Structure 1
């Protein structure tokens, strides 16, 4: 098998596995079903990924690794006003969540199923180190007076609840609160400045 064909098949496996994991959750996903959807036999799947854990970490890692460099770039832009940096972070999340709309529900399910497994997935991708750096950066800005002293868990809950809820409630919103000529991205565009406003109100000292 040529390298190009091998890479193409591996990408198909990853995309298929991502769909099945998001649809069914980790526990109810089987390697046999992934192989069947890809159109290969199970030994062929095991040639690329020997276990379901390894395949899950590869799928999860591909999503995470697409985000971290972008976030690091934004964090380095310290000359930008806080509101602009938050807006850029939201744009990165929007792009990722539009490509993976079932990810928020999947993550919530997996947190409830086995939090240690999810933490292991983050640790495997060295993401926990990034979040520790982010926490230190926020705390340093608070200590310097550039941001208000707010518990970091409050910052986390405020941002992610505002960011993720539209994706969790997409079916309800699109069927009951949107006009026929609107689509979900119109709602996200409308909602974005309100997320920014919430974060600025929470963290930025008043003049």
Structure 2
């Protein structure tokens, strides 16, 4: 039990520091100090900062995508309902852990090949999904000549970017935290509405 407790403390400290500063900005001594242990014990558990980072990054990506795995390949769920669930799921993640999203995006930009390799997410995770097939069928039914990827990218960007850009948006429009949170909550309804209008889904 003590072994598990120490390992958990190290991972929690590393997750917090990596999300705040990124891989390059964190020293192993900082992680050890935040976890309340010495550097030698940290090395005993994880050997190196690189190994610890890979573990934290993999867990972070899994956290971001876990809810998707339960939704996108469910054949009995309509495209319209999937859109609602995916937008809600992403908003829940970015609102609860905005630093997590920034952390993953920053590291993805800094070292995309390593991040994709460590994530263990299949290369055709979305393109071969039932959700993607439903989008394609709807586009073809409405004679809309665009790639399904446009729909997916719009869903992600409309959901994630306003939360990431929150400090700038609040400054430019002089909005307090509570009011901005209300705006984001309104997007739970607005984003699915916009996406369904693009796809010409009638409900």
Counterpart residue number, 1:188 = 184
> Which of 23, 34, 38 is the matching residue for 1:37?
34
Query: Where does 1:56-205 land on structure 2 (aligned, <5 Å)?
Result: 56-122=53-119, 126-127=120-121, 129=122, 132-137=124-129, 138-142=131-135, 145-148=137-140, 150-175=146-171, 177=173, 182-204=178-200
> Which of 2, 15, 19 is the matching residue for 1:18?
15
Any stretches of 5+ residues in structure 2 without a counterpart?
Answer: none
Cα distance in 2, alignment partners of residues 164 and 153 from structure 1: 16
Give the aligned length: 198
Cα distance in 1, alignment partners of residues 177 and 162 from structure 2: 18
Cα distance in 1, alignment partners of residues 27 and 10 from structure 2: 13
Cα distance in 2, alignment partners of residues 24 and 67 from structure 1: 19
Cα distance in 1, alignment partners of residues 66 and 110 from structure 2: 29
Change (3 A) 1:26 1:165: same
Q: TM-score, normalised by structure 1?
A: 0.80
Q: TM-score, normalised by structure 2?
A: 0.81
Change (3 A) 1:88 1:205: closer
Cα distance in 1, alignment partners of residues 118 and 148 from structure 2: 22
Cα distance in 1, alignment partners of residues 149 and 166 from structure 2: 25
Any stretches of 5+ residues in structure 1 without a counterpart?
Answer: none
Counterpart residue number, 2:51 = 54
Change (3 A) 1:182 1:205: closer
Change (3 A) 1:142 1:95: closer
Structure 1 vs Structure 2 CA RMSD: 2.7
Change (3 A) 1:186 1:141: same
Instruction: Note the C-alpha offset of 1:42.
Output: 0.9
Change (3 A) 1:187 1:11: farther
SS in 1 for 2:20: helix
